[in-house]
Amino acid sequence: MSLRERINEEMKAAMKAKETARLGAIRLLLAAVKQKEVDERITLDDAGVIAVVEKLTKQRKDSVTQYEAAGRTDLADAEKFEITVLAAYLPEKMGADEMAAAVAAAMAETGATGPADMGKLMAVLKPRLAGKADMAEVSKLVKTKLAG
């Protein structure tokens, strides 16, 4: 079953269970997926759907930060709930050891040695680790490896 089919099935289950908050988050995700497909005139595969989920999750995290800074815990809690719903559609995240091994392998493959090679190294790592690791963490790790 593809990720998109799984999302549709879970939407139906949320409708039947009358879980309005969860249903709203799933509908939001499906709307974003359909919008991307219409905009680019393509049908998204699982990797494309994961990219949309990551984008929506990042937006929610930014919103939580802003709501908490403004003292709106009610809105922040709603965004946190949506993050938990969206997280169910992301692949399991890599551990720090796996991330370090992937960075080391990419460094050996590209011959990256200094900070000037960061772009080249990230270009290799991004398609491999997209959805499996937080790219901000990967970027920090690459910076420290290239600096030292």
pLDDT of 123 reads: 87
Cα–chain-centroid distance for residue 59? 10
Contact 101, 123 (CB under 8 A): no
Domain 3-87 has CATH 2.30.30.280: no
Amino acid sitting at position 46: D
Listed in order, strand segments (DSSP E) in 22-132 are none
Q: Bigger pLDDT: 18 or 104?
A: 18
Q: Give me the mean pLDDT over the 34-53 stretch.
A: 93
Per domain, the residue ranges of the chain are 3-87, 96-147
pTM, full prediction: 0.74
Q: Check if 3-87 and 96-147 are the same fold.
A: no
96-147, CATH topology level? Arc Repressor Mutant, subunit A (1.10.10)
Cα separation, 85 vs 102, in Å, equals 28
> Token match 């497909």: residue?
37
131 pLDDT above the threshold of 80: no
Q: Give me the mean pLDDT over the 62-71 stretch.
A: 96
Name the residue among 120, 110, 88 with its Cα closest to residue 19: 88
Give the model's confidence band at 114: pLDDT under 50 very low, under 70 low, under 90 confident, else very high: confident
pLDDT mean across residues, the chain: 91
Name the residue among 83, 84, 91 with its Cα closest to residue 46: 91
Cα separation, 79 vs 35, in Å, equals 21
